[in-house]
Amino acid sequence: MESCARGTCSSALQSSPASVFTMLIQTLIASRCGLSNTNKYPSSNEEEILYSGMEFDFVIVGGGSAGSILARRLTEVQDWNVLLIERGVDPLPETVPPGLFNNNLGGPQDYYYAIEPQEGICLSIKDKRCKWSRGKALGGSSVINGMIHIFGNRRDFDGWASQGNPGWNFDEVLPYFRKSLSCSPEYIAEHGDKYCGTNGPLRVRYYNYTVTDFEDVILEAAREAGHPILKAVNGDRYLGFGRVLGTLDEGRRQSCSKAFLSPVRDRKNLYVITSSRADKILFEGKRAVGVRITLSNNKSVEVRATKEVILSTGTMVSPQLLMLSGIGPKEHLKELGIPVLVDLPVGKNLQDHVIWFGLYYSIVNESVTSAPTEQDQLNSAYEYLEFDRGPLRTLANDLVAFINPIDPESIYPEVQLLFSQIQRYDKNGLKSLLHSYDVNDKILQIMTDEIMKNGLITAYASLMRPLSRGVIELRSADPAERVKIYSNYYTVQDDWKRLMKAVPTLKSLLNTTILQKYKAKFHTFDIPQCRNITADTEEYYECNIRHATGTNYHACCTNRMGPANDSRTVVDARLRVHGVTNLRVIDSSVMPNITSANIHAPTMMIAEKGADLIKQDWGIRI
């Protein structure tokens, strides 16, 4: 369609205005379709699979980030037939432009879980319930996430290994981080290839195009204030301010479905079913032999696996499927009438990077004289669709800082700071940003009044190693019902106290020459319930934090990895579920502890390593 539309260009320019208009519409439609060409992805083989009675060597449940990688790597063995089951469909075109990130949260390809009510958290969120986004598409959360690609640090993975997980220390997992990646020649020339591969399926790049220079402003302020500057965030140093790499290339999101599945969509041993929900793992004794699924037409069918069933459905759904299949805490399963196959602490150990989003700088920028108009938005869409340029090519959250305000002697971070900017008068930009946290109307109005007076540089503080632990529980024995999510944020009060300690770092930037140029002032959200508390006190910050609580979308750890003699664990170091055979979990839920950075890159690493573990266990030389 695209070539056809563009082929009319020269003749249309010599025709009537109506013809030119028609050509323009055709071109824009073709460009939009190019963002979500379903031919890029493997076809759903539902009819062939269901009516042939075929069996598979491996059935992978979940076509997200981990599942996409596993499907690609396992089908490298030509004798293995692999079935990938995904509840969602192909990514929608609006998920491709990086600049639409905030708009996709809560959209049609987001499960958008609401956590269970808890006293003292999420108090300025609608219904006082934080929302946790998770991607519902082939490619999973890589289709809607912020695209930040950070590994974490040596302490994270050496800690995993020290908990009885041989093979998972930093030096042993680093090759699997690199295996996925294809960094630009320019990046490799500047930083080397120790932390970045060159032949992997996934392209990662700097965000490049930015609407303003606020990242440079904050970096210069940090440098002037004496903070370390990280030339490469994935590197040997872990503390400082720096720009991150993102899973994007040439202004397009690089989802795991696009990077890992699209190039191998025609492999004869790769089978895919979309729009289908896995309901239960099938066992013969304690050996996993298949999965029961419900199709889009509500028909229930069984698919068989001769070698292994692999769960890659993530932190919420992988424990749900285990528990529905009789693997979980026995008392909880008995309450719901589910026969217990193996008593394991499934759903326990839930961790997340809780975020305090109520922080910002007000700045004066005399060059901004009016709000972006609807015409500006249309122009941006046209620029992106037709010329691959403009503000939709990027996402202005590539500037981060890793700090340790708790232990100044440590080389490892305890808090991550994330920055973004909203220009004065840009009410739609502000609304889009606050929508991602689902803030209530009162806070939205307060901040809207603020944006009409000043430009804003928002700063979010995210706790890297929370002490609080949550839990996932079944709501019922019905697989169609969502799980209960108890985040338990701040149940260990030291968590909010450590977040509070990020404030001095943010304030330290104010007395720099460059921020004084913009007349910058530091603020916390003006939360009505906190107004009568003395500012800059511990009581005040606790109030603000408990109201402006959100998630960094990094929930993990609900199927903890560790040895079988550790009663806290669900899978072993080879990701096999304790007490049964032919069943693995390979996704973010197996992390023993959350990493000190965004968890998407570690999730990909787990899948890359998991694929090699499977190959080794079935006699394939790697």
Q: How far is CA 507 from the centre of its chain?
A: 29
- Please tell me the distance from the alpha carbon of residue 602 to that of residue 610, in angstroms, as a whole number: 12
Phi and psi (nearest 5°) for 49?
A: -70, -45
266 alpha carbon, distance to own chain's centre? 27
The β-bridge relationship of strands 202-204 and 181-183 is: parallel
From the list 448, 460, 458, 368, the residue with the least C-alpha distance to 417 is 460
- Taking the C-alpha atoms of residue 296 and residue 87, their distance in angstroms, rounded to an integer, is 9
- Tell me which H or E stretch contains 281: strand 277-284
SS3 517: helix
What's the CA gap between 183 and 192, in Å, rounded? 10
Cα–Cα distance measured from residue 165 to residue 149, given in angstroms and rounded to the nearest whole number:
24
Query: Helices 154-162 and 170-179 sit at what angle, rounded to 10 degrees?
Result: 120
What angle do helix axes 170-179 and 600-617 make, rounded to 10 degrees?
100
With contact defined as beta carbons under 8 Å apart, do 599 and 587 qualify? Answer: no
Catalytic residue at 578? no
Residue 230 burial by Cβ neighbours in a 10 Å radius (0-12, 13-18, 19+): buried
DSSP classification of residue 303: E
CA dihedral sign, ordered 4, 9, 14, 19:
positive
Listed residue (125, 155, 150, 120) closest to 551, CA to CA? 125
**Is residue 255 classed as helix, strand or coil in its secondary structure?**
coil
Whether 473 and 319 have beta carbons less than 8 Å apart is answered as no
- Angstrom distance (rounded) from CA 157 to CA 35: 37
Of the candidates 99, 31, 25, 144, the one whose C-alpha atom is nearest the C-alpha of residue 372 is: 99
Amino acid at 101: F
Decide: 246 and 205 in contact? Cβ < 8 Å.
yes
DSSP label of 115: P
**How far is C-alpha 151 from the geometric centre of its chain's CA atoms?**
13
Q: Which residues contact 462 (CB under 8 A, 6 or more apart)?
A: 353, 354, 355, 356, 415, 416, 417, 418, 552
Q: How many beta carbons lie within 10 A of that of residue 451, not counting itself?
A: 20
- CA atoms of 5 and 238, how far apart (whole Å): 49
Question: Which residue among the candidates 149, 547, 554, 600 is catalytic per the annotation?
Answer: 554
Residue type, 453: K
Residue for token pair 């397009």: 252
Backbone angles phi, psi at 204, to 5 degrees: -125, 140
| Helices within 251-399 (DSSP H only) | 256, 314-324, 330-335, 374-387
Catalytic residues: 554
